[in-house]
Amino acid sequence: MIGRMLMLVRRELWEHKALIVAPLVVAALMIFGFVLSFITAVFTGVSFDVAVATLELTGAPASLTGGAALLGVSSGMLNLVLAAVVFFYSIDALYAERKDKSILFWRSLPVTDTETVISKLLTAVIAAPLVTIGIMIAAQIVLLILATLAILIGGGNPVELIWGPLPFVQFWVLTIYTFITSSIWFAPLIGWFLLCSAFAKRSVLLWVVLPIVVLVMLEGIVLRSLHMSAFIRDRFADAPVAGLSLPNGVVMDDNALRALVQSGDLNILQVIAPGQYLASPGLWGGLVVTALFLAGAVYCRRFRS
């Protein structure tokens, strides 16, 4: 059972290579950019000694902010890439097989339409984020090694400046957690994309966008309210933080960081709140809507092919 599902998901990754290639390319570009600035710095005579000395002078928080920026920017970019590839994947997933007629072959195998549709949801919601996270961690390790080299050239101590203070393992745990919680949060949206891709005879994109736009406009004209657009906006805004409990109004400034580092209390995993996530009606309501959309997609695949 699990073996079958894994094979179905693997087939999706074989077919939709962008799910792997796009984050790989972006990660490679980031590393390339870092190397390039490294080389530029060497050739334009930027003194690594001075840079490292400045770092040492300002102490841990400065290298911490630098390192956090390195991790934060790279994971942020890959998160955007993930959103884009998952979007294009899910509007194509049940459309491409009809367009190239391969659905006739897939349906000649003992695989139910429900299994197939679920495998496509799992690919978008679980497999694609895991692939991106794997690539992200690998890329960040390379970036940290490059930063270590730069510090060594400047005569600094990389353990003191980066590897010691930077909570990268915690950061990775937090990233994996938020990638997965937010993509499950977005499952109803992916369910909608899959439904459109199973339903549309052509131009899936139009079917994805148009009903939402029309409904929002109708609500505005008829009821003179904007509940729907507000709902959609909130759903997007909530996604990254739905599984986190952030202390209100906390800004991580240098002083706060310094205090945290000095007290040895820096634990970014404190914000993880799986209980709150699992108890939120938004999660379960979303999953119910997802199930409805998927049922529609299964129906379309069964009756319209």
Partner 1 sequence: MSALVQARGVSKRFGNVRAVDNVNFDIQPGKIVGLIGPNGAGKTTLLKAVLGLTDCDGDMQVCGLDPFRQRKALMNEVSYVADVAVLPRWISVDRLLGFVSEMHPKFSERDARAALGNTKIPLKAKVKELSKGMIAQLHLSIIMAIDARLLILDEPTLGLDILFRKSFYTELLNDYFDLERTIVITTHQVEEIEHILTDVMFIDDGRIVLDETVEAIGERYTELMVTPDRVAEARTLAPLTEREVFGKSVLTFEGVGREKLEPFGDVRTPGIADLFVAKISRERAA
Where does this chain bind partner 1 (CB under 8 A)? 3-4, 7-8, 11, 14-15, 97, 100-112, 303, 305
CA distance 226 to 185: 22
- Smallest gap from residue 113 Cβ to partner 1 (A): 8
- Smallest gap from residue 199 Cβ to partner 1 (A): 18
Residue placing its CB nearer to partner 1 in the complex, 56 or 113:
113
CA distance 32 to 19: 21
Residue placing its CB nearer to partner 1 in the complex, 94 or 137:
94
User: Position of tokens 């005879």?
Assistant: 201
- Smallest gap from residue 203 Cβ to partner 1 (A): 22
- Smallest gap from residue 17 Cβ to partner 1 (A): 8
- Smallest gap from residue 110 Cβ to partner 1 (A): 4
Residue placing its CB nearer to partner 1 in the complex, 65 or 114:
114
Residue placing its CB nearer to partner 1 in the complex, 11 or 258:
11
Residue placing its CB nearer to partner 1 in the complex, 15 or 238:
15
